[in-house]
Amino acid sequence: MTWRRTLEYATAIVAIAVALALIVFAISVTNIDRHHNQQSKKNVTENMIQCSNCSETQLLIATTIAMKSSVPVTIAAIGTTIAPLTSSATTTTTTTEATDEIQAEPVSIPSNYITTMTNKREIDSVNNDSDDVDNVFIIANTTTAASTTSTTTTASTSASSNPVAVEETTAWKTLTSHPNSLVQLLPSRAMRVVQEVVRSFRKDANVIVRTIAGRIRGRYQKYRSGERGGYYSFKGIRYGAAPIGDRRFRAAEPERSWLGIRDASREGHSCPHKNMILDTFKGNEDCLFLNVFTSKVPKGDYNPQMPVMVWLHGGGYSFGSGNTFLYGPDYLVAENVVLVTLNYRLGPLGFLTAGPNAPGNQGLKDQLLALKWVRDNIAAFGGDPNQVTVFGESAGASSVQLLMLSPLSKGLFHRAISESGSALNPWALGESSALRASRLAANLGYIGTNNTDDILRYLKKLPAMKLIEGAPNTLTEEDYRNNIGLPFVPVVEGYWNDANRTIYTESPLITENPIELYRNQKFQKNIPYLTGYNTHEAMLFIRRLRKNPKLLEIIENDFARMIPKDLNVTGDRNRVTREIRQFYLGTKTVSVDSVNEMIALLTDVMFLRGIRRSVRYHARYGNAPVYMYRFAFDGALGLYKRMLGLQRPGVCHGDEMGYLFKFGFFNLNLDPNSLEILVKNRMVRMWTNFAKYGNPTPAHRVDNLINTIWLPISPDSVMDNLSFMDISATLDVRKNPEFERQQFWDYMYEHYNGDAM
């Protein structure tokens, strides 16, 4: 070894030793103050610092100030900036909603305050405890230079100009420049060590993004799914004004601009609904929020422009939300896409129709408004507004198709995925009639005229949860006989009369029955489309059997209720009933011994038939590739089976979502080599490939994980040679899913309805 190499090693060792010594020195010196060396950092934190949701950096700032000045320090739960105020200074906050910055009246603050407050509880505590006002500091969550006042952003600021700022730098400036900060006492080298400590704390750095309407502050958080690193989370972003008061039952309006910075660390309210699993009511009518999750944010001239995936949750148009309790972003965001989840109005609040002042489809119009928000703002989060994939499950899947059938959504998304749902399913569209609204009002005490305006005025005065609670009681026996179990769903906007068709709104979302739109080729043909189903979708209905054991007996005695409404049987219904019973049950009766056969029948009638028909229309008349899948993996990540406590084999409605989203309500410690992890990785890769390339298995992305080419459906083979990807423990391209069952329904629709598609 040469003397030069020896010298290099020695120098390195000395440098390491010096660095360690500096760290020890830095830690020691920040705990020494000549006036207060009797008080430990622990006691300062416990006795002198009030902290709500503060970060490590803010805690470090507060500790140094408290130790130096011996005064209590409060870290505001919701705030804007640190700013010295002159005597009798007045602090004014902007008017915002409860989930954002809290509205506060102007307040006078003595000269030795360092504060800009927006949390009304903090202001009230100062006003009520005047004896202590000389010994309080307020440190806000979002910090700027200590010697300047808060700056605000005007509504006209473009989302694309300087779209993001990381709080770490300003937090460090505050830490080092504050007159009471002990860090100023450190030598320059030691200060650099502390700066590195601060940066390590700020791995969860707050991130400020500038949208068109104003600035919002998100958080960095680590993946919960085992991947290294993390992502930026922006929760509870308001995309629409609160649809309350006279706005109830009407299309939502865009959110107004705001001043200052809104916090986006917590999810907004879900829309009012009854949770069908927990059998509880929850939500708030002020619910038009979305969440954005991204692994990269723009900095300076850098903008990652990642593909965007917008999720529309399911729940029969009557319950659910876009929150991370069910739809954790970890799996998808790790594949370098931006994920957006959202709430939309549900039940009567989202889909009641009663004349021109409540034309219907409010929930779908919420989705449309959210997509417009994505178009206008997603670039600030690292997303590409020209690569947006809208995807959903169940009612969300049907919503995807309805948006594809509406010219109002043109240009808002560029690819589409429907999981276990279609606009052609019997539950996806209701009657455009004010009768159900009238029935709802009567059930809730209305005794006035049949005038729709009077009915709406009455319904607008009732608490939202009263409407949700009363919705199921609007279903009639005829509804149940037609397998209509959802009282408030999308409708064709308008009504037929003898002379002509009257449209209630200037810009109706749905103008014709979806099947007519498909037949007349009135859909967005240039959007690549991926859709499919789970093998035992109707296992979902076992829950209804548990709640109503007599339901099997009811079906046995009235099997004609199994005839699909859109089959339009006008002749001998008894003959149709016999044919369906014979094909599915043979000689069995409807009982606990034939539950599997009933699951197959209901899967076909309620889901697969409509999905398959829409695939045929898209593949035959569209100009973009169409992909179909069959999800058949019965594994531990099955969502609905776990929620419903089902033990029987099969893949239930909703089970595929556990392989796309990280659930917030249970955590399985699965072997990394398990089949569940393999299927999850494959699903996530194929779905994000589709979002990126319009192809779930592009040739350049075929590898050991995805070792099969998923072929699009040929327009010439839609009737008798329908290809699909069978997703199970392996990936296999097959032909004609559930062939015999679908062949039966092809015959029934052609024979009784004259519709071969």
pLDDT tens-place string over residues 675-706: 999 999 999 999 999 999 999 999 887 788 99
Of 86-100, 411-425, 561-575, the poorest mean pLDDT is in 86-100
Residue 502 has pLDDT above 80, yes or no: no
Residue 545 has pLDDT above 50, yes or no: yes
- Mean pLDDT of the region 411-440: 94
Residue 485 has pLDDT above 90, yes or no: no
Residue 234 has pLDDT above 60, yes or no: yes
Task: Give residue 431's pLDDT band: very low, low, confident or very high (50, 70, 90).
Answer: confident
In the block, residue with structure tokens 């729940």: 315
- How many whole angstroms separate alpha carbon 383 and alpha carbon 305? 5
DSSP letter for each residue of 227-283: -SSEEEEEEEEE-B----GGGTTS---BPPP-SSEEE-SS--PPPSEEETTTTEEE-
pLDDT at residue 569, as a whole number = 85
- Mean pLDDT of the region 312-341: 96
Residue 210 has pLDDT above 70, yes or no: yes
pLDDT at residue 620, as a whole number = 94
Q: Give the whole-number percent of the chain exceeding pLDDT 90.
A: 56
Residues identified as active-site: 394, 537, 653
Task: Give residue 124's pLDDT band: very low, low, confident or very high (50, 70, 90).
Answer: very low
Residue 597 has pLDDT above 80, yes or no: yes
Are 393 and 654 contacting, i.e. CB atoms less than 8 angstroms apart? yes
Residue 186 has pLDDT above 70, yes or no: no
Task: Give residue 11's pLDDT band: very low, low, confident or very high (50, 70, 90).
Answer: low
Higher pLDDT, 737 or 195: 737
Residue 190 has pLDDT above 70, yes or no: no
Mode of pairing for the β-strands spanning 215-222 and 230-238 = antiparallel
Q: Model confidence over 610-668: pLDDT tens digits?
A: 999 999 999 999 999 999 999 999 999 997 888 888 888 999 999 999 999 998 766 77
- How many whole angstroms separate alpha carbon 566 and alpha carbon 253? 35
In the block, residue with structure tokens 């990280």: 662
pLDDT at residue 142, as a whole number = 31
- Mean pLDDT of the region 413-426: 98
- Mean pLDDT of the region 51-61: 52
Query: CATH 3.40.50.1820 spans which residues of the chain?
Result: 209-519, 529-753
Task: Give residue 54's pLDDT band: very low, low, confident or very high (50, 70, 90).
Answer: low
- Mean pLDDT of the region 586-596: 93
Mean pLDDT of all residues belonging to the chain:
79
Q: Is 493 exposed, middle or buried (0-12, 13-18, 19+ CB in 10 A)?
A: buried
pLDDT at residue 724, as a whole number = 95
Q: How far is CA 469 from the centre of its chain?
A: 24
DSSP-based three-state secondary structure for 361:
coil
Question: Which residue, 380, 382, 374, 376, is CA-closest to 160?
Answer: 380
- Answer yes or no: pTM beyond 0.85: no
CA angle 137, 139, 140 (to 5 degrees): 145
Question: Which residue, 693, 630, 654, is CA-closest to 392?
Answer: 654
pLDDT at residue 32, as a whole number = 44
Residue 131 has pLDDT above 60, yes or no: no
Higher pLDDT, 385 or 98: 385
Q: Model confidence over 700-732: pLDDT tens digits?
A: 877 889 989 999 999 887 777 889 999 999 999
Higher pLDDT, 65 or 270: 270
pLDDT at residue 109, as a whole number = 26
CB-CB neighbours of 539 under 10 Å: 27
Are 190 and 26 contacting, i.e. CB atoms less than 8 angstroms apart? yes
Class for domain 529-753, per CATH? Answer: alpha beta
Give the up-direction half-sphere exposure of residue 87: CA atoms within 13 A in the CB hemisphere.
0
Q: Model confidence over 265-284: pLDDT tens digits?
A: 999 999 999 987 777 889 99
Q: Give the whole-number percent of the chain exceeding pLDDT 70.
A: 71
Highest mean pLDDT among 3-12, 74-83, 687-696: 687-696
Higher pLDDT, 167 or 262: 262
Question: For the CA atoms of the chain, what is the radius of gyration?
Answer: 30
pLDDT at residue 558, as a whole number = 92
Are 432 and 513 contacting, i.e. CB atoms less than 8 angstroms apart? no
DSSP-based three-state secondary structure for 631:
strand
pLDDT at residue 205, as a whole number = 63
pLDDT at residue 721, as a whole number = 84
pLDDT at residue 193, as a whole number = 47
Q: Model confidence over 440-483: pLDDT tens digits?
A: 999 999 998 989 999 999 999 999 999 999 999 999 888 887 77
pLDDT at residue 642, as a whole number = 81
pLDDT at residue 224, as a whole number = 82
pLDDT at residue 3, as a whole number = 54
DSSP letter for each residue of 144-180: --TTS------TT--TTSS-EEEHHHHHHHHHHH-TT
If one looks up domain 209-519 in CATH, what number appears?
A: 3.40.50.1820
- How many whole angstroms separate alpha carbon 599 and alpha carbon 593? 12
Residue 16 has pLDDT above 80, yes or no: no
Higher pLDDT, 25 or 727: 727
Task: Give residue 161's pLDDT band: very low, low, confident or very high (50, 70, 90).
Answer: very low
Higher pLDDT, 341 or 485: 341
